[in-house]
Amino acid sequence: MLLAITSLGYSSVWIDGWLRMENREEVIRKLLDVPDNKKVQVILPVGVPEEICNQPKKKTFFERAWFNNYRS
């Protein structure tokens, strides 16, 4: 879902732990009219990014993974 959102030019963030604090899950459930027998596990707010952030360049696969030996 996050990749699809990004490919459409929007931004999002995975929110789950925040819902477990201060009864927030119940507030969100009521706001969205989710039935009492259901639980909100995750929310993905979607919107247009205010600013574009440059991601750091990733190491190549072979710099991140190795097989059949230990390398630090």
Q: Rounded to an integer, what distance in angstroms lies between the CA atom of residue 60 and that of residue 64?
A: 7
Q: Which of 4-8, 46-50, 68-72 has the lowest mean pLDDT?
A: 68-72
Confidence (pTM): 0.60
pLDDT at 71: 64
Q: Model confidence over 34-59: pLDDT tens digits? A: 999 999 999 999 999 888 778 889 89
Q: CA of 45: how far to CAs of 14, 49, 56, in Å?
A: 8, 11, 24
- Alpha carbon 4 to its chain's center: 12
Please state the domain extents for the chain: 2-49
pLDDT of residue 47: 95
- Residue 65: is it exposed, middle or buried by C-beta count within 10 angstroms (0-12/13-18/19+)? exposed
